[in-house]
Amino acid sequence: MQTKFIFVTGGVMSGLGKGVTTSSIAKLLQLADQKVSCIKIDPYLNYDAGTMNPVAHGEIFVTEDGGECDMDIGNYERFLNQNIPKSHNITTAQVYSSVIDAERKGEYLGACVQIIPHVTDEIKNRIRKIAEDEKLDFLIVECGGTVGDIESLPFLEALRQLRVEEGPQGVIFVHVTLAPSLDVVGEQKTKPTQHSVQELRRIGIQPDFLAVRCTLPLEEKTKKKIAMFTNVTPNNVLSCHDANSIFEVPQMLYDQGIMDSIFTKFGKVGMVNASANWDKWNEIAQNMVNHEDQKVKIAMIGKYVTLADSYVSVNHALKHAGAKIGKSIDIDWIDSESISDYNILSKYDGILVPGGFGTRGSEGIINTANFAREKDIPYLGICFGFQLAAIAFGRNVMNLEDANSTEIKADTKNPIVDLLPEQKDISDMGGSLRLGANEVKIKENTNAYKIYNTNSIHKRHRHRYEINKKYIPEFEKNGLIFSANSDGGKRMEILEITSHKFYLGVQFHPEFNSRPGYPEEAFTAFVKAASEK
């Protein structure tokens, strides 16, 4: 069976929700019992997202197979409740590296190597390989950037060629645009959409669908006007108006007949039979927005707090956990450098410290972890938040005043957290952390065991430093125990203070495994403890 392709492009400006449109279309197809997956194309020159500052670009999403990916991959995983491999995040750097490697090996047999056909062929090969290897019914490919950018041109050209090669029944183009209104009751403006589609047509792509972002539902007359100017049938001009939650978008698109149109276009009429799956999904989606009166207040302390997207999976994981126990979550992001009086943290039901790197802001986090311990406020520390909680305990309970991580102070006398031994000779920063899913073994009769109800879990990692085993006996003597480890006991994975209401640190990133309706266990336990504070 041939895979059908849906390509999602973006117009007018960034931030219109291409990722949500892509995920929603994929979800609808999955609900119709189709085997689907998504690809994100990022036309930048970083090999992957791993070296990028999260404040500028948003969270780095880690896949099971250790990819450091664009955060849209996280959106796909959460919508589809399905793991996405790292090969599904294609960048300009990956494509050009492969082409240049092949040229150096002499594989082009004397040809002059060019963007067309060599770069575009490499892009098409990568997309087709995923479709074939995974035997997909549908593959939805989201092209990052905005049409008109120089960077994305080779990718759009490759997608254009794919449509020619696959034939009109093999490919659909969806273009995401904006219909702004100058005030709430004002007219919905169509010109930005018209211009954006003109730009797309200039490079040979006629969209089949337009997903038009707007505040209020797109009016019938606006749809007709857009349709007339863009050559898209009015039925396929879809209103993507503001919703309470991104999980309502699949239903919104479904109600406008997108599934009939997609199946008709692909010659698969009569395939919309999704009622049983819909019930479960709708229950999950509804449950995510239903608990506004019951709030749990969480303080999230880190240094990348100026952009909510820096910790997007953590935010989602908290909400999934809240939905599970019937609460909504209020998150305040607090800059660890800005806290002068830690008593402001007393008003929160729980304190969460997510992952992080480097010296800046670390003292504020160490003090936060200590404050949570002393005041018995539920605490969840993830990766950096796990390491710094151990340092706080070292300094304040074990009386090792200069306890630190060698990441923060290279010559500290008490390196409670130190470089992973295999990292000592690494000089390249890209792709060289301990990455991806590994088995974590949990000891019985611990809180961790109660939380996970098993002694073996698989969790995703992204770190270069770890707990120095030399200090473990001293920790355990003082009441902080390491309740899980990995690699045959070599690395510490979970810490807990049993006498505390809830004090848990995890070296791995539980947020990447949390899905709507299926929250990650440590988050559920943390939110539950916070709600009982």
**CA dist 58 to 201, 209, 310, 314, 388, Å?**
31, 28, 4, 12, 23
Residue 264 burial (C-beta neighbours within 10 Å; 0-12, 13-18, 19+): middle
Nearer to ligand GLN (CB atom), residue 464 or residue 501: 464
Least distance CB 462 / ligand GLN (angstroms) = 5
407 forms part of the interface with ligand GLN (CB under 6 A): yes
Q: Nearest to residue 393, comparing CAs of 446, 471, 326?
A: 471
Which one is catalytic: 88, 320, 500, 509? 509
409 forms part of the interface with ligand GLN (CB under 6 A): no
Least distance CB 491 / ligand GLN (angstroms) = 11
Is 511 designated active site? yes
Interface with ligand GLN: number of residues (CB under 6 A): 10
384 forms part of the interface with ligand GLN (CB under 6 A): yes
Q: Which of 383, 392, 442, 497 binds ligand GLN (CB under 6 A)?
A: 383
Least distance CB 252 / ligand GLN (angstroms) = 35
Nearer to ligand GLN (CB atom), residue 86 or residue 463: 463
Q: What is the 8-class DSSP label of residue 188?
A: B
Q: Nearest to residue 486, comparing CAs of 524, 430, 434?
A: 434
Q: Find the part of the chain contacting ligand GLN (CB under 6 A) among 32-40, 109-117, 299-307, 352-360.
A: 352-360
DSSP β-bridge partners for residue 4:
138
**CA dist 406 to 23, 364, 409, 419, 509, Å?**
41, 17, 5, 7, 21
Is 509 designated active site? yes
Query: What is the sign of the dihedral through the CA atoms of 416, 422, 427 and 429?
Result: negative
Binding mask 353-382 for ligand GLN (x = CB under 6 A): --xxx-------------------------
Is 220 designated active site? no
Least distance CB 357 / ligand GLN (angstroms) = 4
Q: How far apart are CA 6 and CA 329, in angstroms?
A: 35
Q: Taking the mean position of all CA atoms in its chain, how far away is CA 273?
A: 29
Q: Which residues in the 425-464 window bind ligand GLN by CB under 6 A?
A: 462-464
Q: How far apart are CA 39 and CA 59, in angstroms?
A: 17
Nearer to ligand GLN (CB atom), residue 168 or residue 358: 358
Question: By the 8 A CB rule, do 69 and 18 touch?
Answer: no
Least distance CB 354 / ligand GLN (angstroms) = 7
Nearer to ligand GLN (CB atom), residue 381 or residue 519: 381
Residue 114 burial (C-beta neighbours within 10 Å; 0-12, 13-18, 19+): exposed
Amino acid symbol at 50: G
Q: Find the part of the chain contacting ligand GLN (CB under 6 A) among 123-131, 164-172, 340-348, 351-359.
A: 351-359
Least distance CB 405 / ligand GLN (angstroms) = 7
Nearer to ligand GLN (CB atom), residue 356 or residue 519: 356
Least distance CB 413 / ligand GLN (angstroms) = 20
Q: How far apart are CA 501 and CA 349, in angstroms?
A: 12
Q: Find the part of the chain contacting ligand GLN (CB under 6 A) among 18-26, 349-357, 451-459, 467-475.
A: 349-357
Which one is catalytic: 466, 511, 520, 521? 511
Q: Which of 76, 173, 379, 465 binds ligand GLN (CB under 6 A)?
A: 465
Start-to-end CA distance of the chain, whole Å, equals 55
Q: How far apart are CA 97 and CA 100, in angstroms?
A: 5
Give me the residues that bind ligand GLN (CB under 6 A), please: 355-357, 383-384, 407, 462-465
Catalytic residues: 383, 509, 511
